[in-house]
Amino acid sequence: MSLLTVGTMAYDALETPFGKTDRILGGAATYIALSASYHVDKSNVVSVVGADFEQQHLDLLSGKGVDLEGVQIIPDGKTFFWKGKYHTDMNSRDTLDTQLNVLETFNPIVPEGFKDCKYLMLGNLMPSIQQKVLDQLPTRPKLVVLDTMNFWMDHFWDDLMVALKGVDVLTINDEEARQLSEEYSLVKAAQKIMTMGPKYLIIKKGEHGALLFHEIKYSVLLRFLWLRFLILQALVIRLQEDS
């Protein structure tokens, strides 16, 4: 089973109520590829970095069996950088700084050995780049998943609408779902988003799990948390009765 991941390999600066870092390894492709390396036979990456991308981080990926043939290293460029501030719920966040750097002129080239992938993960990056990768594959993968964020919605809306038409699954968080659909209700948001192309929609809700939508049906992927809530609620009622 082969997976092709296209996305950012980046550096992030993060601020949360619990800590702060000025420079940490980031990027959608980085962590998707690392995670997938435990579950697939071939984990391949198409991305771009600058000369400032540290060798130890390339070694981290290759050491897990990730094939980096599709990663372009621009000698006189700087790696994509994102700075954000997360709030107490660790789900909503504010973008403080985005430096596209080498990503701004990135022309993805899919190596011949990657083009037979069964699964394609279009990680969080410019929608036009996501579409370029899909256009290079001679045979459509069995499953195409796309991730995006509010930054691309704000600046590359038309390109995003084109990319969404060719995917099976879209993954976004609840804030992004509301922005994309202009609907507050997540059920209504999902119904509207799925008319844009995706057959399935995953709406991430931070510590509350996620929602999976298909057509007009949806499944709450937090049954354990819900069961725990019901048990606690029953205990509270019982304690009130006993008192």
Q: What is the CATH number of the domain that holds 100?
A: 3.40.1190.20
- How many domains are contained in the chain? 1
Mean pLDDT over the full length of the chain: 89
Write out pLDDT tens, residues 6-18.
999 999 999 999 9
Can you tell me the distance from the alpha carbon of 181 to that of 114, in angstroms, rounded to the nearest whole number?
34
Residue 199 falls inside a structural domain: no
What pLDDT score was predicted for residue 240?
60
Residue 86 in domain: yes
Confidence band for 206, pLDDT divided at 50, 70 and 90: confident
CB 30 within 8 A of CB 10: yes
70 part of a folded domain: yes
Amino acid at 94: D
Structural domain includes residue 234: no
Structure tokens at 124: 């969080």
Rounded Cα gap, residues 221 and 121, in angstroms: 21
SS3 label, residue 5: strand
The domain in which residue 99 lies consists of 2-167
In a domain, 187, yes or no: no
| Residues 213, 48: Cα–Cα separation, whole Å | 32
Rounded Cα gap, residues 71 and 243, in angstroms: 65
Mind listing the pLDDT tens digit for each residue in 81-130? 999 998 887 767 888 999 999 999 999 999 999 999 999 999 998 899 99
Q: How far apart are CA 43 and CA 69, in angstroms?
A: 11
Residue 159 lies in a domain: yes
Q: Which of 81, 91, 88 is nearest to 12 (CA)?
A: 81
Structure tokens at 140: 């459509």
Secondary-structure percent of the chain, ordered helix, strand, coil, rounded to 5: 40, 35, 30
| 200: three-class secondary structure by DSSP | strand
Q: DSSP secondary structure string, 34-51?
A: HHHTTT-SEEEEEEEEET
| Angle, alpha carbons 194-200-203 (nearest 5°) | 85
Would 213 be classed as within a structural domain? no
| Rounded Cα–Cα distance for residues 89 and 205 (Å) | 10
Tell me, yes or no, whether 226 lies in a domain.
Answer: no
**pTM for the whole structure:** 0.83
Beta strands 169-173; 200-204: pairing state: parallel
Taking only the tens place, the pLDDT of each residue in 207-238 is: 788 888 987 555 555 455 555 555 666 655 65
Distance CA 243, CA 241 (A): 5
